[in-house]
Amino acid sequence: MQLNFLQIVLVVGVSFLAGMEGILDEFHFHQPIIACTLIGLATGNLLPCLILGGKLEMIALGWANIGAAVAPDAALASVASAIILVLGGQGTAGVNSAIAIAIPLAVAGLLLTTVVRTLATAIVHLMDRSAEEGNFRMIDIWQIVAIIMQGLRIAIPGAMILAVGADRVRALLALMPQWLTDGLGIGGGMVVAVGYAMVINMMATREVWPFFAIGFVLATVKEITLIGLGAIGISLALIYLALSKQGGGASSNGGGASNTGDPVGDIIDNY
């Protein structure tokens, strides 16, 4: 698929926003479901990109920065795979191939993240110098420069993929045999399951498991739409909050930890 000038500008703009949001984390443009959907809207490939974003979102659920360990770059994986999917012109049939390319790109994005954060360290020292001089305007300028670097971290690779062109991308995807495409699709599904299992393992408690079981069963009922499931989820959350305020009351045990009747709140407070 060939993109016109306006589409290219929009795609690069979405890539830039995704890079900035990877640090700002305010509007979540870096999340796969949002970044891929926006690129799909800009290029007229909404359905394939939406499916791609949904699958990548399930994979990225298990990606988290823990201590000094930095997670793969979800923003670069989302943008690059969506662009490749669009340029490949295969529609929904190319989703598995795009995901297969997204995973190594996400790992490779860690190098770009390291370079940008190293440069940002130098900018912090420049901001400290400006603070010592009382130059608040320069502090703001250096802050903007640092955020722009984060945006370029994703926008430049996205622009480079666009510069390669649809024909070369399509030829690259055509070189992949069917058995490899199918295998990557199965592997991608396993990665989704592992990522979701990691999230469940982190949030699972005796109080949460019943709600998970209810949601899992309700999700198998085909007559219930996503809006219906969302309404049920909100209702269960409100019921949980109402019951938590009625149970137990504020008290202290032998170790000094309080029991407010809200298990989640107690865990956060004790932490």
Q: Where are the alpha helices (DSSP H) in the chain?
A: 5-24, 32-43, 46-60, 74-88, 95-132, 136-164, 166-174, 178-203, 209-219, 226-246, 263-270
The CA distances from residue 151 to 26, 218, 260, in Å, are: 14, 40, 44
Decide if pLDDT at 250 tops 60. Answer: no
- Burial of residue 111 (number of CB atoms within 10 Å: 0-12, 13-18, 19+): exposed
Decide if pLDDT at 173 tops 80. Answer: no
Most confident of 88-102, 122-136, 158-172: 122-136
Beta bridge pairs of residue 252: 258
Angstrom distance (rounded) from CA 12 to CA 18: 10
pLDDT band with cut points at 50, 70 and 90 for residue 251: very low
Tell me, yes or no, if the pTM score tops 0.75. Answer: no
> What's the mean per-residue pLDDT of the chain?
78
Decide if 184 contacts 99 (C-beta within 8 A): yes
Q: What is the pLDDT of residue 49?
A: 92
Residue 185 or residue 151, greater confidence:
151
Structure tokens, 230: 């969302």
Decide if 261 contacts 244 (C-beta within 8 A): yes
pLDDT band with cut points at 50, 70 and 90 for residue 170: low
Torsion of CA 262, 264, 266, 271, to 10 degrees: -170
Decide if pLDDT at 146 tops 50. Answer: yes
Decide if 36 contacts 49 (C-beta within 8 A): yes
Nearest to 44 by CA among 16, 6, 70, 81: 6
Angstrom distance (rounded) from CA 156 to CA 162: 10
Q: What is the pLDDT of residue 16?
A: 94
